Amino acid sequence: MTNPGNPGNPGNPGNPYARLAAAAAEWDELHPRLAPATLDRLALLLAALRTADGEAAERAALLAARLLGEQLPDRFPGESRLAATPEAPAAGHLGFSADDLAVLVLDGHRMVGPVLGEVRDRLLAAPSVGDAEALEGGCDPYAPGLIRLHGAGGLVRLPAFQFTADGRPRAVVLEVNALLDADHDPWGAADWWLSPNVWLDDTPARLLGTPQQQRLVTAAQFLIEGE
């Protein structure tokens, strides 16, 4: 929850999860102020928070929140008020959550917050394969043109629509991904493939392997030319 009268501060400054969420919301400003050693320690605590539960998770959240308070006392005062409570994990700030801070620090991308966080969850929920699975299928998961999304813990997930039944990359997917600049904007490319497209009157990924799949290249070109 947030305080409408003071949007620059967490609504509950004593809640460690609210502090972590506030840090995620202001990460562009706060990140440059933290030393590399502090970022390394924060990463360890957020990794523990992500994998633990119960009291262990609460302690990791509390230690991470205290670390931010120690390093950024002007932004996060009131160390003595910090305390874990049963409802603490649900606390957020301006639509951000403690998990968003873990994504920023551990996963290396910026798909966080009330809008992009939902997109991230939707895209990662789609069928996918890991880099080891792709290798087993005879495909280089780091070959140019493939969409690679970083899930929890930074694990690489490759949307499954990119591959044929025998594990080979689809040529039309690589062609479209090049147009969408998937190497530099994998989340944007994945969202294009997995979202309804008015011009195609369908979700692009659903047209793969059908007589309509050549329309995908035209649709992607239309999108790029219209920007």
- Cα separation, 24 vs 97, in Å, equals 7
Q: What span, in angstroms and rounded, lies between the C-alpha atoms of 72 and 129?
A: 40
- 80 vs 217, higher pLDDT: 217
Backbone angles phi, psi at 10, to 5 degrees: -60, 145
Sheet holding 149-150, edge to edge: 128-130, 156-159, 149-150
Q: What mean pLDDT is predicted for residues 146-155?
A: 86
Confidence of residue 117 (pLDDT cuts 50, 70, 90): very high
The CA distance from 158 to 130, in Å, is: 6
The span from the CA of 203 to the CA of 191, in Å, is 10
Q: What is the pLDDT of residues 8-60, one digit of tens each?
A: 444 465 789 999 999 999 999 999 999 999 999 999 999 999 888 888 989 99
Give the residue, 7 or 122, on which the prediction is more confident: 122
Q: Can you give the pTM of this predicted structure?
A: 0.78
**pLDDT > 60? residue 1:** no
pLDDT band at 197 (very low <50, low <70, confident <90, very high): very high
Burial class (CB in 10 A: 0-12, 13-18, 19+), 223: middle
Judged against a pLDDT cut of 70, whether residue 97 lies above it is answered with: yes
**Across 154-181, average pLDDT:** 93
Mention every residue, 6+ apart, whose C-beta is less than 8 A from residue 62.
16, 82, 83, 84
Examine the pLDDT at 5 and tell me if it is beyond 60.
no
Residue 183 has pLDDT above 70, yes or no: yes
Question: If you average pLDDT over residues 66-91, what whole number do you get?
Answer: 79
Domain spans of the chain, in order of start: 16-107, 126-226
pLDDT at 87: 60
